[in-house]
Structure 1
């Protein structure tokens, strides 16, 4: 990485090796360049958020936070903004884990179904983890009921394939994918590349549907130089919408789009909510990095210049005066925080800079595998309940369903009844698995329990937060204090999650579902650990404190539970 000052002026073209001692968010070639850049960088480095003793405004003003009274007090979560999930909210997983299941020497083609895919992160993770020795074909079927998600997935794949066909450098393509996926604003050159590479592939398809009814499904397949294919199944009216994802609404410029996004992610009425989240961050530098991403929406290293990123990302701005996600959506949610934090970068506390480097590596590996492995993609935009008739029975090695098995969505019984006929039989493949995720089940069961159960293991929270017993009277007398909310937000990390999920399984009648459908919940997961976000270490083990602090700073709870299902013998 170059010295930050080289991005601001021609004064320096040296590599960076010197990081500012205070925030460790930017790097320079040495003290001279750091001093030259100080007038600009001190705005962040001397910000109140950079102080280790920073406290939320409501705490300093000795008042209750916004959710403590009025209508907000009647709601548990108080989400704000739109409810589209353009980015993953749990870390990417390899749904195949071939070496530990079928075996790295598996000598047959593989078929994978992402029945409620969300973004492409699990697809990327699975393909990058294919063994180098794997020489067979992969069929990947991707479905989501949200059109914006399907459109973006289609465009990202088309851009990747078209760029590979043009023999663009893999690292360059990877960085473009990062910004198309996560950055609210793009360089004009990237918008131009998006339209020139994807536009000629998508635009003619709408004309092909001219004489078809609006609701008719029209299939379009592209074949690329690698031999890989992409088959997209959309209604006639949706092909027109897909082409529109290459353009922002007429008249929407940079300033207007910036105001639109800020109205959600920097809304004045949400200041207390943001402060609550910032107060949980592991370091002041993490607070600063998160705040900067909120301000500009660019997934870049903290010190990277922003001036050329002045064109609204058309895949995110499809409606004037509307940002498609809520104000808590964060690119960090979709990737392993441990993997991201292990990235070696000169700015050692720049989490978004580390995420950028991590994704550049992951996407580069993905692109490399796309060029070497025969992969056929199919994309659908359907409610999962309408999907099975379009697919072959007993065809898939793995079916991943996200958290549609949560009670608020499709539920366990219906999901398994719908999708198990699509899974390979034990005779075809004894490792064939349906992967389900429960994001809300443990939480809902905890709420059914007693107050004593919900507050159990409070001693462990005090140890992690470094609170002495003398703090207990203060907390009891100050239930709206920032420290009290930090304690409250830590509870999920220390409660007996197995006990509460066991109650959920009984309430949801896993036993009856298994018997009725002839399926079994695996006693031991072989693809993804049951509780991937839960704390693995305990104080005073080395790394336990850092593990806790990073989980607390995330949007995860530790209650994310994966269950793997197989056909009964």
Structure 2
């Protein structure tokens, strides 16, 4: 990373600020935010430091949201809800923690060496693919085919660029730095921009030249080979041209203009109550580092220099007028917060985004190492999930991960089994072959107003066993509001999901599809984010607080299906 030394340690926070150019390692930690090489640099950096730290209201343990201090009803309770503040609503970052869809050690075995085929049917970004390949044990030497599909061509294009950055670069550290910032930072360095418009542009431009005379809807697939690895991308002509355009900053877009556009969404005054609701559930360091990321949009540790990130990320800034992400989009949502908090690294203990940057550096480095030592074929598609059978040829899959297209508002479980089931290997080929489905909305759909009335008193009493209740300060007391939100974390999720399965006739789906769901999952827990500890157990309150601050509900349900 540009903010690290060769040994992986962070550069002193005084580097690049106030005209200073310290290049020593940051070894001494301020209580909250910065790392310094010594007292002299801390003193020289004090004007910046005091704003970030001593005079930062978000670091005050007694901080309260604006709606409470202004004694007004918060925007999320009444009036215009502004739930769809940014109508572009692109999703270049995942909103569920990444997981390993293989878990070879718990299924086929750590030394499994038969061919493995993986399908991410509605991939969104590539976090699950990266996590899976990075987690493969060294003893596994399988040849692999990895299919990544998404119906958003922009998402597919970014995934292709990220994979190309990994495939063209031999240095794992350089590849990891490039991928982290292309993926998550709103601004990138000149060196990364040169790579995009050097090697990557050359690869894409060759395809665009071949299709100059073709009709706009013409579909073309291109395979790039890198030793024993390859990447095949299938797009329509207009999408290839859009991919080429996404490598270059739109004409007339300055860094200052881009930052203003992004902040108009990420720091929208109209959404301050929504941000503060999330912040109030976070520890001081969490909310301060979250606000810092919203201000700058660059995924580096809190006190790290940002002066080398001068170019708007062209894969995110696609025009001169808009920022495509929702205002609550957050890189942290794609990874387990409890894992981020304890990840061993040089970032200050309170700096969650700094810790995330180190976690990602480790993850992507391991992913790059796996690519270097494997025979892997990537296939990237941009089709509706129900049409995938027409694009995967004769390939049958050991794992199919479908995200939450199984929710009733999308394909639903029945149609997912109808379209995806035929692509899953039979037990005679691999008895561990599994389709992994996610339900984000099932419990909420069952937990209607009548259920809320029955459960509210019971659930709030349970919440108060994990949280220390305090007398309300007024009608819009933040503690009471957040306690009410926390009731979803103590909800009887098994009860409501059982009701959901009956409502949607899961027993009939098993009969019709010839498939069954695993009573004991072997890849990912059924409720991976649910609070596991009872209130009286050691660490229960900390576990509860981490879930509450994450923005996850604990009602997220995974389900694993296989052929009988």
Into which bin does the TM-score normalised by the smaller protein fall?
over 0.9
Q: 1:521 aligns with which of 517, 520, 525?
A: 517
Alignment TM-score, normalising by the size of structure 2: 0.94
Q: 2:65 aligns with which of 53, 56, 60?
A: 56
Cα contact 1:393–1:423 (8 A) shared by 2: no
Equivalent residue, structure 2, for 1:186: 188
Instruction: Encode CA deviations 1:102-125: one digit per residue, 9 max, x unaligned.
Output: 112223110000000000100101
Cα contact 1:397–1:424 (8 A) shared by 2: yes
Q: C-alpha separation between the residues in 2 aligned to 1:407 and 1:80? A: 24
1:249 deviates by: 1.6
Cα contact 1:394–1:425 (8 A) shared by 2: no
Cα contact 1:442–1:497 (8 A) shared by 2: yes
Bigger mean CA offset, 138-147 vs 486-495: 486-495
Cα contact 2:527–2:554 (8 A) shared by 1: yes
Q: C-alpha separation between the residues in 1 aligned to 2:188 and 2:439? A: 35
Which segments of 5 or more consecutive residues in structure 1 lack a partner in the other structure?
none
Q: C-alpha separation between the residues in 2 aligned to 1:82 and 1:207? A: 30
Partner of 1:308: helix, strand, or coil?
coil
1:546 deviates by: 2.0
Q: 1:150 aligns with which of 148, 152, 156?
A: 156
Cα contact 2:181–2:298 (8 A) shared by 1: yes
Q: C-alpha separation between the residues in 2 aligned to 1:561 and 1:546? A: 22
Cα contact 1:163–1:197 (8 A) shared by 2: no
1:142 deviates by: 0.5
1:81 deviates by: 4.8
Q: 2:526 aligns with which of 523, 530, 533?
A: 530
For the structure 1 residues 132 and 487, does the alpha-carbon distance in structure 2 shift closer, same or farther, using more than 3 Å as the test? same
Q: C-alpha separation between the residues in 2 aligned to 1:32 and 1:565? A: 60
Q: Does 1:253 align with 2:249?
A: no
Equivalent residue, structure 2, for 1:325: 325
Cα contact 1:394–1:423 (8 A) shared by 2: no
1:195 deviates by: 1.2
Instruction: Encode CA deviations 1:308-334: one digit per residue, 9 max, x unaligned.
Output: 211100010112211111011110010
Partner of 1:67: helix, strand, or coil?
coil
Instruction: Encode CA deviations 1:18-55: one digit per residue, 9 max, x unaligned.
Output: 1113x2x2111233322221211111211211111111
Partner of 1:520: helix, strand, or coil?
strand
Equivalent residue, structure 2, for 1:413: 414
For the structure 1 residues 342 and 567, does the alpha-carbon distance in structure 2 shift closer, same or farther, using more than 3 Å as the test? same
Partner of 1:63: helix, strand, or coil?
coil
Cα contact 2:145–2:378 (8 A) shared by 1: yes
Q: Does 1:540 align with 2:541?
A: no
Partner of 1:223: helix, strand, or coil?
strand
Q: C-alpha separation between the residues in 2 aligned to 1:122 and 1:561? A: 16
Equivalent residue, structure 2, for 1:386: 387
1:82 deviates by: 2.8
Equivalent residue, structure 2, for 1:174: 176
Q: How many pairs are equivalent?
A: 551
Cα contact 1:447–1:454 (8 A) shared by 2: no
Cα contact 2:94–2:333 (8 A) shared by 1: yes
Partner of 1:434: helix, strand, or coil?
strand
Q: Does 1:2 align with 2:4?
A: no
Q: C-alpha separation between the residues in 2 aligned to 1:550 and 1:122? A: 22
Which segments of 5 or more consecutive residues in structure 2 lack a partner in the other structure?
1-9
Equivalent residue, structure 1, for 2:453: 451
Alignment of 1:90-105 (within 5 A): 90-105=96-111
1:538 deviates by: 2.5
Q: Does 1:462 align with 2:464?
A: yes
Cα contact 1:406–1:440 (8 A) shared by 2: yes
Equivalent residue, structure 2, for 1:41: 49
Q: C-alpha separation between the residues in 1 aligned to 2:160 and 2:50? A: 42
Equivalent residue, structure 2, for 1:16: 26
Equivalent residue, structure 2, for 1:264: 265
Q: C-alpha separation between the residues in 2 aligned to 1:371 and 1:388? A: 30
Cα contact 2:460–2:484 (8 A) shared by 1: no
Q: C-alpha separation between the residues in 2 aligned to 1:78 and 1:486? A: 22
Equivalent residue, structure 2, for 1:29: 37
Instruction: Encode CA deviations 1:125-168: one digit per residue, 9 max, x unaligned.
Output: 1101111011120100010001110010011111211123xxxx
1:173 deviates by: 1.4
For the structure 1 residues 34 and 153, does the alpha-carbon distance in structure 2 shift closer, same or farther, using more than 3 Å as the test? same
Cα contact 2:216–2:236 (8 A) shared by 1: yes
Bigger mean CA offset, 416-425 vs 389-398: 389-398
Q: C-alpha separation between the residues in 1 aligned to 2:531 and 2:440? A: 16
1:229 deviates by: 0.5
Alignment of 1:212-231 (within 5 A): 212-225=214-227, 227-231=228-232
Partner of 2:72: helix, strand, or coil?
coil
Bigger mean CA offset, 355-364 vs 241-250: 241-250
Q: CA RMSD in A?
A: 1.7
Q: Does 1:118 align with 2:120?
A: no
Equivalent residue, structure 1, for 2:337: 337
Q: C-alpha separation between the residues in 1 aligned to 2:319 and 2:24? A: 43
Partner of 1:309: helix, strand, or coil?
coil
Alignment of 1:81-92 (within 5 A): 81-92=87-98
Q: Which runs of 4+ in 1 moved over 6 A?
A: none
Q: C-alpha separation between the residues in 1 aligned to 2:429 and 2:513? A: 18
Alignment TM-score, normalising by the size of structure 1: 0.94
Cα contact 1:456–1:495 (8 A) shared by 2: no
Cα contact 1:16–1:27 (8 A) shared by 2: yes
Bigger mean CA offset, 45-54 vs 12-21: 12-21
Cα contact 1:81–1:264 (8 A) shared by 2: no
Cα contact 2:16–2:307 (8 A) shared by 1: no
Q: C-alpha separation between the residues in 1 aligned to 2:390 and 2:327? A: 37
Cα contact 1:393–1:421 (8 A) shared by 2: no
Instruction: Encode CA deviations 1:475-504: one digit per residue, 9 max, x unaligned.
Output: 8x72x3212211122111111111111111
